[in-house]
Amino acid sequence: MKARALVILLAIVTAGGVAGGVYLHRRPKKPPGKTAPAIRPVEIVHAADGSAMMLVPAMEFTMGTSDAHPDFPAAPPDGKPLHPPDLLIARAAIGWAGDGERPARQVSVKAFAIDRYEVTNAQYRRFLEAVGKTGDHSRCDPREPKGKDHTPRYWREFNPLLKDPEYAATAPFSAATFTDDAKPVVGVDWFDAAAYAGWAGKRLPTEAEWELAARGNDGRRWPWGNDWKWGLANTGGEKLGADVHAGGREKDGWIYPAPVGTFPGGRSPFGCDDMAGNASEWCSDAYGNERVVRGGSSRSAPSSARCASRFHYEPEFRTFTLGFRCAKDN
């Protein structure tokens, strides 16, 4: 009996050890080469605007998407044809990506801090009151058009039809959709975003900082990992999916921006919320005469809400899907 017990014990030890109970399966070996250091989210509070910010140490990370273009199957193994958004999810899952994000490369970034959440309407309102009182635009971008008052597009009357009670009763939005305190401010252009950041003693994140904060240092597709899952982000297109609630409702519950932090399951490795979807976000970088926008929005397909997806708009562009978060040196 003793010999037999010893053999079993040896078998357990050589099979990989004991951790919180006996297991007999060998743990998968770590891949050779560099392994990504573990990330520990660290939150600070930026006093000027009361924002939670996450610290990101100086580091190198994989930015962009691999040059490999695997052949996209016309149909999955079960033979059923794919339709949007399943098609877009499938493409994203096999590495499909826009040319603007290729190739994947190692990029070094200095230490910085970045807002945990998109800037909210409540925060932006305080900025607007302050700049209205003082008329001080000295911390705005010097290229800002003259006479700009920074009021978001949807804080003014944006749809006269909403005055018609019948229309208002059936519209999937109201003025409150874009002004609620807890929701991200949208309908702001790049100059508005830069002006808020300057007022708060911060700046817009660079594209590289934004992507590192969103995906960490293991090259993942979405902030939570490599596999798309409904319900971890406020995106669009769910109405076309096979597994959608009846009645055309969005599976994530939101057609337009949701209060920031509504999807904690989709948090990034550094602890940032809503880096996939909700409001898409202005970055500081130029893209020709335009400015870079990242993260996808409440109307984006899953593939466009990947951490490496890039968009770009004229700096004066304002729309209901577009907001921002701030960063600062650390």
CB-nearer residue toward Ca ion: 137 or 269:
269
The answer to whether 268 contacts Ca ion (rule: CB under 5 A) is: no
Taking the complex as a whole, how short is the minimal distance between the CB of residue 325 and Ca ion, in angstroms? Answer: 8
Closer Cβ to Ca ion, 65 or 235, answer by number:
235
Minimum distance of Ca ion from residue 76's CB (angstroms): 30
Min separation Cβ 227 and Ca ion, Å: 19
Contacting residues for 235 by C-beta, under 8 A, at least 6 apart: 252, 276, 277, 296, 297, 298, 299, 300, 301, 302, 305
Query: Is residue 120 a contact residue for Ca ion (CB under 5 A)?
Result: no
Of 54 and 140, which CB lies nearer to Ca ion in the complex structure? 54
Q: Contact between 192 and Ca ion (CB under 5 A)?
A: no
Task: Verify cis geometry, omega within 30 degrees of 0, for the bond prior to 269.
Answer: no
- Please report how close the Cβ of residue 27 comes to Ca ion at its closest, in angstroms: 35
Strand partners, 280: 322
Count of residues of this chain found to bind Ca ion when the rule CB under 5 A is applied:
4
Which residues ranging from 275 to 304 are in contact with Ca ion (CB under 5 A)?
A: 278-279, 295
Q: Using omega within 30 degrees of 0 as the cis cutoff, is the peptide bond preceding 76 cis?
A: no
Q: Which stretch binds Ca ion (CB under 5 A): 82-90, 127-135, 252-260, 273-281?
A: 273-281
* Cβ contacts of 17 within 8 Å, gap of 6 or more: none
Residue with smaller CB distance to Ca ion, 62 or 278: 278
Which residue, 192 or 274, is less far from Ca ion as judged by CB?
274
Q: Between 188 and 279, whose beta carbon lies closer to Ca ion?
A: 279
Nearer to Ca ion, 88 or 213 (CB): 213
Residues with Cβ within 8 Å of residue 146, at least 6 apart in sequence: none
Put residue 88 in one of left, alpha, beta given phi > 0 → left and psi -120 to 50 → alpha.
alpha
Piece in contact with Ca ion (CB under 5 A), picked from 37-45, 135-143, 242-250, 266-274: 266-274
Sign for the CA dihedral angle at 50, 55, 60, 63 comes to: negative
- Cα 298 to Cα 82: distance, rounded to the nearest angstrom: 22
DSSP 18: B
Residue in the shown chain whose Cβ atom is closest to Ca ion: 295
Task: Give the 3-state secondary structure percentages of the chain, helix then strand then coil, rounded to 5.
Answer: 25, 15, 55
Contacting residue, 250, 274, 307, 326, with Ca ion by CB under 5 A: 274
Which residues are at the interface with Ca ion (CB under 5 A)?
274, 278-279, 295
